[in-house]
A and B are shown apart, each in its own frame.
Chain A
Amino acid sequence: GNSVTQMEGPVTLSEEAFLTINCTYTATGYPSLFWYVQYPGEGLQLLLKATKADDKGSNKGFEATYRKETTSFHLEKGSVQVSDSAVYFCALSDRDTGNQFYFGTGTSLTVIP
C-alpha cells in the first residue's frame, strides 16, 4: 500500500542554519509528491510539489527533489528564518489508488533568533 514516513520532530534550529527534513515513501504506482506547511493556528498550505521522478519542487527558498531510486522527497532550505517556524507535512497522491492523499505525521520546526 501507500505510505509516507517523515523525520520525527520537533526540530529546533538557529536562524540561518541549514534545514533538512527527511521524507520517504512507499507507493504502488507513480505518485505525485508534496510538501505542505501549517503555520500556528492555520490550515495546511502547499509549499511545493513534484509530479515525476527527478523533478525538483521549489518555493520560498525551500527545495525537494523526487528521487525514485531512493523513494525519497527530502525538504531542504539553505538558511532558515524565524518565520519558517511551522509544522511541515510530506504527502503523496497516487492515481492508482484513487488519487487519495497520504500524509506523513508532520515535523515541527522552531527557528530561534
Chain B
Amino acid sequence: EADIYQTPRYLVIGTGKKITLECSQTMGHDKMYWYQQDPGMELHLIHYSYGVNSTEKGDLSSESTVSRIRTEHFPLTLESARPSHTSQYLCASSELSETGGVGELFFGEGSRLTVL
C-alpha cells in the first residue's frame, strides 16, 4: 500500500484564481514527480525533484511551479488558472532499487482540476 497523498481530489475553480495542489509522502523517498494526464490518458512529466531544494522542469512545458522545502512535501502551484490547465495531475515518488537504479514509482490518486 503506497503512502502518498494528494489533495484536493477534485477542484473546480474560476479563471484567474491561484491554486495549490498538495502532495505528501511518508515513505522518505528522495525523488518526487508531477505528471499531467490528458483526456487521452497519456502521461506527461511536468516537474520532478531529486530532494530538498531541488526542482527541475519535465518534458512538457507547464506554467505551474513547484517547491521542495521538506522531503515529504511537493506542492504544485498555478498562480493564475486558465481553462487550458484543466486536467488530471498525478504526483509520484520513487526510491532507489537494490541495484542502485530507480525502483518503482508510487502514485497518489490524482487531483482532477477543472477551470471554468
Contact = CB atoms under 8 A, between A and B. Distances in A.
B107 A45 contact: yes
Contacts of B107: 36, 43-45
Bin chain B's interface residue count: 20 to 34
B45 A106 contact: no
B102 A105 contact: no
Interface residues of A, number: 24
Contacts of B31: 99
Contacts of A44: 43, 90, 92, 105, 107
Contact of A93 (B42, B101, B110): B101
A32 B90 contact: no
Interface of A: 32, 34, 36, 38, 41-46, 49, 51, 87, 89, 91, 93, 95, 99-101, 103, 105-106, 108
